[in-house]
Amino acid sequence: GEDVEQSLFLSVREGDSSVINCTYTDSSSTYLYWYKQEPGAGLQLLTYIFSNMDMKQDQRLTVLLNKKDKHLSLRIADTQTGDSAIYFCAEKDSGGYQKVTFGIGTKLQVIP
């Protein structure tokens, strides 16, 4: 079955860039997502990328996709304390229904 892997924890200093990495196994993935979960809240979609794209930029966020290596990364420029959260990588397969497989989440800690 599909599998999405992420590291558990990342700590960065305020103002630095954060890079959160993710690998996935499903070669038929159509969309890949990054969700953000703040304490006590649900998941909020940050950005997504189609599987036929290499890069997507949205303000401070840059998503890079290496389809050959099945590697996805999220770069947050000028990281702020408000970016402290858990970040989930997720992929949607090309099957007939919208099955989305999530990684375990990377906890980003921003040090002031």
Partner 1 sequence: EAQVTQNPRYLITVTGKKLTVTCSQNMNHEYMSWYRQDPGLGLRQIYYSMNVEVTDKGDVPEGYKVSRKEKRNFPLILESPSPNQTSLYFCASSAGRMNTEAFFGQGTRLTVV
CB of 38 to partner 1, least distance (A): 11
- CA nearest neighbour of 76 among 90, 64, 60: 60
Contact between 24 and partner 1 by CB under 8 A: the answer reads: no
CB of 98 to partner 1, least distance (A): 5
- Compute the distance between CA of residue 40 and CA of residue 7 in angstroms, rounded to an integer: 21
Residue with tokens 């993710």: 22
Contact between 33 and partner 1 by CB under 8 A: the answer reads: yes
Contact between 61 and partner 1 by CB under 8 A: the answer reads: no
# of chain residues touching partner 1 (CB under 8 A):
22
Query: In terms of DSSP bridges, do strands 106-111 and 9-13 run parallel, antiparallel, or are they unpaired?
Result: parallel
